[in-house]
Amino acid sequence: MKITAADVVVTSPGRNFVTLRITTEDGLTGLGDATLNGRELAVEAYLREHVAPLLLGRDAHAVEDTWQYLYRGAYWRRGPVTMAAVAAVDTALWDIKGKAAGLPVYQLLGGACRTGALAYGHASGRDIPELLDSVRAHLADGFRAVRIQSGIPGLDSVYGVAASAAGEGERYDYEPARRTRTAHPRPTEETWDTRAYLRHMPTVFEAVRHTFGPELPLLHDGHHRMTPIQAARLGKDLEPYDLFWLEDATPGEDQRALRLIREHTTTPLAIGEVFNSVHDYTTLLQERLIDYVRSAVTHTGGITAVRKLLDLAAVYGAKSGMHGPTDISPVGMAAALHLDLAVHNFGIQEYMRHAPETLEVFRTSYRFEDGLLHPGDAPGLGVELDDAAASRFPYEPAYLPVNRLRDGTVHDW
């Protein structure tokens, strides 16, 4: 079954998405998510100009061979742009394979290990009362686990807190990457104070536990904004509140930095949403420095690569916790859910509902019921792209914020 076309669709229904659509001689189509938040056009060009021509005439069923061909054949390996492009091709080919077989992709991966994937939602507030209301709203929506993010006294805007202002008076809701709508778009700059954050977060979790009790799984994202010793302190300070995980406590490029955190706290650790290869994890897994792998299918080479990563993680007792905010398109989310259902070492799935405009463009079969996500049983991934709807939402430049310390230094995150 030969590939006859590979088209790239860029659309912005609430936020920017890059989608690859592969078509075969039999008329089957497969979709792959190639969205790289704030660098979307780099991946579009990589796919359109370098990858799509290589796919024409190839066997659409040769998923593993095509993955190796694209990864090794370019000589320049890894990196977010390359791996997002490879992921889009790989995911689209799995979609085609499922449609050809008349089966959902999870069945091709070995079948279901569970009835659904436990999902966590994003509760946040500018202050503790607003945060508690957000937790209540998420529980009312059916979530059984929630991520806790809070405003920090003295800081006007905090990334990850939906109700805080974020450039031009907008809110951090569906689109944390700001659309500056100027002749020369630039990222919004926000002030950050790590010491204030470290003082405040234990009081936040104390209030949440006091209100909602000991059973509710609570997660927290540090957004890479701590040094290893600061992260060790926070992990230790939060131990009484029994977190499900502390995520991205420190930048992960130096894998050995996690040793210091691990030595000082028993709070479970999750990392990897900015990683794009199994090689980013080798020390972390072999030395058991993390508990959850956070990579997204979209940014880590597709279903083929993430399945291998999770198989390796299982050897060292680590579980999945795949990245799933709204900068992962419904195509990428569906791909994650098929893996969630099929892998033995599933942990939890991040889930943010997409904007209504996004769901006009991407028609999905996955569902959220009683705190669990299921990819559905439609053949392939179970997502279709509406071209007419996509054409109504042209691309707009948008960038994640830059954090600066109070002295003006650009802060690592």
Among candidate residues 138, 136, 142, the one with its CA nearest the CA of residue 116: 142
C-beta of residue 161 within 8 angstroms of C-beta of residue 172? yes
User: Quick one: DSSP state of residue 288?
Assistant: T
Decide if 223 is catalytic: yes
Query: Residue 23: enclosing H or E segment and its boundaries?
Result: strand 17-24
CATH class of 1-106: alpha beta
> 């993390």: which residue's tokens?
290
Among 46, 71, 120, 159, the active-site one is: 159
Classify residue 47 as left (phi > 0), alpha (psi -120 to 50) or beta: alpha
Question: For residue 80, which of 277, 290, 333, 359 has the smallest C-alpha distance?
Answer: 277
What's 27-48 look like in SS3?
Answer: CCEEEEECCCCCCHHHHHHHHH
Q: Distance between CA 353 and CA 157 in Å, rounded? A: 22
pLDDT, averaged per 10 consecutive residues of the chain (413 residues), comes to 98 96 98 96 98 98 98 92 98 98 98 98 96 98 98 88 60 61 76 94 98 98 95 98 97 92 98 96 97 98 98 98 96 98 98 96 98 98 98 92 83 67
Unique residue bearing structure tokens 């540090």? 222
Residue 323 is a catalytic residue: no
pLDDT for 176: 66
Q: Which residues contact 53 (CB under 8 A, 6 or more apart)?
A: none
Distance CA 104, CA 401 (A): 38
Q: How many residues does the chain have?
A: 413
Catalytically annotated residue among 223, 224, 354, 374? 223
Task: Say if domain 109-376 classifies as CATH 3.30.460.90.
Answer: no
Phi and psi at 124, nearest 5°, equal -155, 165
Q: What is the pLDDT of residue 165?
A: 58
Close Cβ partners of 185 (under 8 Å, ≥ 6 residues apart): 179, 397, 398, 399
CA 64 to centroid of chain Cα atoms: 23
Going by C-alpha positions, the residue among 309, 329, 331 that lies closest to residue 318 is 309
What pLDDT is recorded for position 166?
52
Domain residue extents for the chain: 1-106, 109-376
Tell me the C-alpha distance between 332 and 190, whole Å: 29
DSSP 174: S
Could you list the beta-strand ranges (E) of 248-371: 269-271, 292-293, 319-320, 349-350, 362-364, 367-369
Instruction: Tell me what pLDDT residue 149 has.
Output: 97
Is the CB of residue 190 less than 8 Å from the CB of residue 164?
A: no
Q: Do domains 1-106 and 109-376 have the same CATH topology?
A: no
Residue with tokens 């995980």: 245
- Bridge-based pairing state of the strands 292-293 and 269-271: parallel
Asked if residue 42 lies in contact with residue 36, where contact means CB atoms within 8 angstroms, the answer is yes
Q: How far, in Å, CA of 39 to CA of 49, rounded?
A: 16
